[in-house]
Amino acid sequence: MATNRTFTMIKPDAVRNGHIGAILEQINAAGFRIVAMKYTRLSQEKAGAFYAVHRGRPFYDELVDFMSSGPIVAAILEKENAVADFRTLIGATNPEEAAEGTIRAKYATSIGENAVHGSDSDENADIEGSFHFAGTEIFA
């Protein structure tokens, strides 16, 4: 995957709370183009594998339970400087620290149930995009 892409998930809390449309609208308005998207649900096993880097942390089990608790929207987004610009758009992990107007400030309920995921590096964007999408599901 090129470095102008990032990977996102609209997490189960935001889906449950009816925020899919508003979040996608904010993503589009910020200049991101959706090149892959699916509505799906992660098994415990798949959520655990996705967040394997956090295995051993006190919140890991809670995170895996939460991320497999309901459907998500997974997407690959394209824009110049995608990874950094998307992290700015979503705001800090903890919604109490997220800048006003960011997706997490608007839609997250807690540090765990924080509405959206955004890759933290080009390398992880590539790994995470490939985790969820086959090459034939990506439309450049």
Which residues contact ligand IDP by CB under 6 A?
59, 62-63, 93, 111-112, 114, 117, 120
Instruction: Kindly state the smallest distance separating residue 127's Cβ from ligand IDP, in Å.
Output: 14
Q: Of 15 and 63, which CB lies nearer to ligand IDP in the complex structure?
A: 63
* CB of 36 or CB of 125, closer to ligand IDP: 125
> Measured between alpha carbons, how far is 77 from 8 in angstroms, rounded to an integer?
7
Task: Report the residue number, 28 or 93, with the smaller CB distance to ligand IDP.
Answer: 93
- Encoded amino acid at 52, one letter: A
User: Is 59 labelled as part of a ligand binding site?
Assistant: yes
**CB of 111 within 8 A of CB of 99?**
no
Least distance from ligand IDP to the Cβ atom of residue 36, Å: 20
Query: Degrees (nearest 5) of the Cα angle 32, 34, 35?
Result: 125
Nearest CA among 95, 92, 90 for reference residue 108: 95
At 8, which helix (H) or strand (E)?
A: strand 5-10
Binding residues for ATP: 11, 59, 87, 93, 104, 114
Which residues are the active-site residues?
117
